Amino acid sequence: MTIYREKSNNLYRVQLFVKGKRVATKRGFKTQAEAKKWMAEKQTEYENGTTTPTQKEDLLSFDTLVEKYQNLHLPKIRIQTQETYLSNMNTHIIPYFRYYKLKNITPAMITEFQTDLVNKGLKPKTVNNCVCLLKSIFNFGEQNGLFEKNPARHIKKLKIPTEKYVWWEREEDVQKFLAAINTQNLSNGNLDPFRAAYRLALECGLRLSEVIGLSKQDVDFTTGQIHIHRQWLSKKQVYGPTKHNQIRYIGFDPNGELAKALREAVTQSPDPEILFVSSTGHRIHPTALSSKYFRYWVKKLNLPTLSFHGLRHTFASWFMKRGGGDIWQLMKFLGHSEITTTMRYAHLSSDIKRVPSFDLAK
């Protein structure tokens, strides 16, 4: 039997041997006392014959590992992430590895799996998501003593080229859109009831799910602040935390057009909490807001094609062009967890410094 502390996380790891054969492994003990207690209990089980010493990895299949992962690990993570994980597992990972014993899965096999996804034409980001998920599954198995080493540990991600995002690059397009939603009626003879929703994305950078999840109580007209602390998960029909759990406040002009549109939305909604509702009085569906109402204006005004999320890109781009280039402030407004994500907008700053020149004075 062996107890040692892992340098990577300062947690203790235990390996139990019976007649020179490793029969149990467990990681993640915070103290040496916890590790010794677990080891003593396992030792007693083997001595009393209640547990037969066998190599777990000789018996366990990949299906068993995935089942344990789904039951014990998935419930601990964000609902949105669960959905993505389950989709990638059922579509790509399980069909490839389901009939293998854990002991037979090698790093070379995982590299072949990665190449197979590429050959199928999947986007590099999707391939990376699948490989990272596979690493997570094997990490779970390793930490719970199901096998000795994670075979996916050293598999590298594919390099992903930076994709150009789409936004309204001409200010006249932005102004044309804002003027139209304020003055032109829909086919029913009324103004668009979701004018405030568009402005929240265009002027504050909110995501579509954050707009849908915004409640009347989240808008403070006295201080001119919007509290963004959750989003609406339409598939689950529940509220969830914001992406990366980034809770933030965004200030707005209490006397501006956004405030006026928000007040009208509050007044028009019959629900005591929900801010944006459909004609039936229920929460507006994200697809209806983005693909029906917003797309209607893009087509009617003959504007450059843009998705609802493109309004968020437009906000960030114009913030850098007109806001002095404060990339850190933009990061807070957008709710990014890493500055590298926000840096895609940095080149638009009007405050770009020039490097000193070695040109000879003329």
Query: What's 254's domain CATH number?
Result: 1.10.443.10
Q: Which domain holds residue 77?
A: 58-143
Structure-token pair, residue 4:
């040692």
Identify the band that residue 171 occupies on the pLDDT scale cut at 50, 70 and 90.
very high
Asked if 119 and 241 sit in the same domain, the reply is no
Select the more confidently predicted residue: 200 or 326: 200
Asked if 7 and 75 sit in the same domain, the reply is no
Give how far the C-alpha of residue 74 lies from the chain's centroid of Cα atoms, to the nearest Å: 15
Beta strand spans in 242-350 (E): 248-251
Asked if 231 and 102 sit in the same domain, the reply is no
Asked if 10 and 36 sit in the same domain, the reply is yes
Look at residue 157 and tell me if it is in a domain.
no
- pLDDT above 70 as % of the chain: 93
Residue 333 CB contacts under 8 Å (≥ 6 apart), including other chains = 204, 205, 248, 250, 316, 319
pLDDT of residue 57: 47
Average pLDDT over residues 44-67: 70
pLDDT surpasses 60 at 81: yes
Asked if 130 and 204 sit in the same domain, the reply is no
Cα separation, 202 vs 239, whole angstroms: 23
pLDDT of residue 114: 96
Look at residue 18 and tell me if it is in a domain.
yes
Residue 11 CB contacts under 8 Å (≥ 6 apart), including other chains = 5, 27, 28, 29, 30
Cα separation, 307 vs 310, whole angstroms: 5
Q: What is the CATH number of the domain that holds 110?
A: 1.10.150.130
Asked if 18 and 87 sit in the same domain, the reply is no
Asked if 186 and 235 sit in the same domain, the reply is yes
Look at residue 301 and tell me if it is in a domain.
yes
> Comparing C-alpha atoms, which of 314, 5, 4, 81 is closest to residue 176?
314
Asked if 50 and 62 sit in the same domain, the reply is no
Structure-token pair, residue 260:
């006026």
Q: What is the CA radius of gyration of the chain?
A: 27
pLDDT of residue 235: 85
Residue 59 CB contacts under 8 Å (≥ 6 apart), including other chains = 101
Identify the band that residue 160 occupies on the pLDDT scale cut at 50, 70 and 90.
confident
Average pLDDT over residues 322-330: 83
Average pLDDT over residues 75-91: 90
Asked if 50 and 37 sit in the same domain, the reply is yes
Whole-prediction pTM value?
0.74
Structural domain total, the chain: 3
Identify the band that residue 19 occupies on the pLDDT scale cut at 50, 70 and 90.
low
Look at residue 159 and tell me if it is in a domain.
no
> Comparing C-alpha atoms, which of 288, 241, 307, 289 is closest to residue 81?
241
Asked if 238 and 303 sit in the same domain, the reply is yes
Look at residue 65 and tell me if it is in a domain.
yes
pLDDT surpasses 60 at 54: no
pLDDT surpasses 60 at 55: no
pLDDT of residue 236: 86
Look at residue 161 and tell me if it is in a domain.
no
Look at residue 353 and tell me if it is in a domain.
no
Asked if 217 and 313 sit in the same domain, the reply is yes
Q: ∠ CA(162), CA(228), CA(298), 5° rounding?
A: 55
Identify the band that residue 137 occupies on the pLDDT scale cut at 50, 70 and 90.
very high
Q: Helix 124-143 crosses helix 79-88 at what angle (to 10 degrees)?
A: 100
Asked if 121 and 251 sit in the same domain, the reply is no
Average pLDDT over residues 335-359: 85
pLDDT of residue 158: 94
